Structure 1
């Protein structure tokens, strides 16, 4: 196993910062969410279909759910996450490393909703949502869902999000967010879709595109599991709780 201290979080004591998330609160109220001050996004991509009916064992829907559960869809060049895989999904605290042009920001989110339902009588839906905690660059909520339309067999990966830059950002960070934040956010969604389109068909072929040594720090793991450290990471500027 690769020790996380030798890996990507560099000079940051990631385990300590992750522990401190337990005392943090969600940094916004839903009553504040409205256009045009907030970005409201909805993305949907098609994955390999199944036969109509309930999700198939080891089929497209099950593989996609597993990727979503473990945060494997996240593009490691943009966002990486540290969390405790033994803890229940609902209430899971995650320390995110957001990577912006040589600056790595460390921010907390918490899983506040798990979706497991039959929607509209036909759509089998599983997923979860996290919300931003105090100190995050942003304020808002992201929901990741895998949907099987059982009457047609279609399988979808759906991302829904509302967000805005945190008003407590300092002037330098705020300028950087205005210049790169929204652009990077949209690129994150596109790359999530690309990874799901790549990984689900590979898993259906019984290939294992994410196999490899897991990065750990005690009981914590870092996701996605194909993230690797590069020499340039040691030169990055590290900021904890910039918001």
Structure 2
């Protein structure tokens, strides 16, 4: 009996369509996106298990958080599911996000806008090891903006933490029913996404450490959710351009 093709193969056409979509905002003007100009700016943070001072441990909390971030397993699955090609380099990744609330299901495209992997020296002289990435909204998304996920380690104290930084604004929504639903529930869902994401990442890191964490093999990567029975994504992209 022939085996079914990998689920991400079934989604290649949709992913490729979003790969050619443009941003629905100008990332080069990020400095102008402030509450004073009508943008929401949000920061969320959670503590992770501390390590010994010095560089991140190979199988400690910092490295475990990096794996959770890379595999995008931390968002609440009842709210957001990410679909992407697992062998695509992170800095080239395009994702289709499936969002759900009430009886609605929405499909959005985002693109990784940058990957951070560095030792930072702060103004007070402290040094921290930082890894993470941001993604940016594409045409058809109900929001405009960028969200960044980073894991940090203070090299002097061993403190480890996860941080989310985002700026966003409601985008163009052509469908009046979607517009009303997003106006009523969008901000609440945005906060829920962030709060549950920091909680889930912390819990996943703690579980990995309890089980004697080691870097997972490629074949153990999370399954990519199939959406071949849904045509809403392409229709929504076209409708909201």
TM superposition score normalised by structure 2: 0.82
Gapped regions of structure 1 (runs ≥ 5): 6-12, 224-228
**Residue 168 of structure 1: how far off its partner (Å):** 3.9
Select the residue among 166, 172, 188 that pairs with 1:167.
172
Considering fraction of residues, name the structure with more helix. Answer: 2
Paired positions, count: 222
Residue matched to 1:61: 62
Residue matched to 1:98: 99
Write out per-residue CA displacement over residues 53-109 of structure 1, whole angstroms, 9 at most, x where no aligned residue: 111110000000000011011110110011011111112110000111121101100
CA contact (8 A) 2:51 2:61 kept: yes
**Residue 237 of structure 1: how far off its partner (Å):** 11
CA contact (8 A) 1:147 1:155 kept: yes
Select the residue among 193, 208, 211 that pairs with 1:203.
208
Considering fraction of residues, name the structure with more strand. Answer: 1
Residue matched to 1:10: none
Task: Say which SS state the counterpart of residue 27 (structure 1) adopts.
Answer: coil
CA contact (8 A) 2:144 2:170 kept: yes
CA–CA distance in structure 1, aligned partners of residues 105 and 142 of structure 2: 11
TM superposition score normalised by structure 1: 0.81
Q: Mark the CA change 1:113 to 1:215 in structure 2 (over 3 Å): closer, same or farther.
A: closer
CA–CA distance in structure 1, aligned partners of residues 231 and 89 of structure 2: 33
Q: What are the residue-to-residue correspondences of 1:76-91 with 2, within 5 Å?
A: 76-91=77-92
Q: Mark the CA change 1:128 to 1:213 in structure 2 (over 3 Å): closer, same or farther.
A: closer
Q: What are the residue-to-residue correspondences of 1:8-157 with 2, within 5 Å?
A: 14-30=11-27, 31=29, 33-36=33-36, 37-120=38-121, 122-157=127-162
Task: Say which SS state the counterpart of residue 146 (structure 1) adopts.
Answer: strand
Select the residue among 170, 190, 197 that pairs with 1:192.
197
CA contact (8 A) 1:2 1:215 kept: no
**Residue 213 of structure 1: how far off its partner (Å):** 8.2
**Residue 130 of structure 1: how far off its partner (Å):** 0.5
CA contact (8 A) 1:78 1:98 kept: yes
**Residue 222 of structure 1: how far off its partner (Å):** 3.9
Write out per-residue CA displacement over residues 175-234 of structure 1, whole angstroms, 9 at most, x where no aligned residue: 1111111100100111111111211111111168x9x98775xxxx349xxxxx9xxxx9
